[in-house]
Chain A
């Protein structure tokens, strides 16, 4: 199995199937990022489509100083932010459509329902944050990227990211308090 970096090299050299492999490997994760930033499944799909087209067109400009996954996070984040700018208003994630969350799984249906409800409250709260707070929060808390990786995706310094994340976390905790 080829690494992401090998796939990018092959794609740049004209191997279209290599790029297809990247699409297969990373689409689900990119969709998760787009969904958590945009808050709407249909819009998230539009964003991922835009992101992959941007990635294809920007392939030759890929800088090898970053990991491919970091570059793809940047591409999908930029696509999501462009989408939010076009939309101009914030759409609250006030409902989670069927098929958006993972299928029910143990320990019991009741416990699972409660878990889903708690997750919905968190998603609603995240959707109310300003994009400058929401995006780093999604990348750090939901995608599990390191501070350095998030800073690289957003093209900001780590201290700047720390400040944004601090404000985002404080705002999220306050919002969660209101939604309870």
Chain B
């Protein structure tokens, strides 16, 4: 850490430059009367302008983002008929939201092991079918991803629901030309 000729560490002035204040009142008093500190504060301030300018650049949300979020929330909210699975000795009812959450987690776990292949867009449960909507990375085999996701999700659902696993449909809804690193 470099020090100014007045003995003040340069870094100690960062807060004064950025916030115009400091938790150390003695430092503030000294800095405002010290030519070295004043010059250093001005320099930090100038360099920090790039951050202020970047902060003014509000990221633009992708088109349709809100609708996709509403879709995701509604799928977890459920509200439909419980998912029915026939078992020996009687039926098993599982809330739609539970099926969605188990499916989401299973897909996320699998895709985390294979970054850059696909992303989960949404999970829907309709009657007795689970539908998984994916965004595929350009150049990735649709068949390969669909098979892998379906097998992984069916295994996860079997762990929770038993062997009467519902059909799992895969729908590729988009392709991205920017594969994840």
Contact = CB atoms under 8 A, between A and B. Distances in A.
Given A42-B178, A46-B119, A49-B69, A118 B50 contact: yes
B54 A45 contact: no
B131 interface: no
A57 B69 contact: no
Interface string B36-65: 000000001001101111110111111101
B72 interface: yes
B77 interface: yes
B54 A53 contact: no
A170 B60 CA distance: 28
A48 to B, nearest CB: 6
A55 to B, nearest CB: 8
Nearest to B135: A42
Interface stretch (B10-18, B83-91, B151-159): B10-18
Interface residues of A, number: 52
A102 B58 contact: yes
Contacts of A40: 180-181
B4 interface: no
A91 B181 contact: yes
Residue among A36, A91, A123, A142 with the most chain B CB within 10 A?
A142
Which 4 A-B pairs have CB atoms at the shortest separation, nearest pair first? Answer: A122-B54, A119-B54, A32-B59, A28-B61
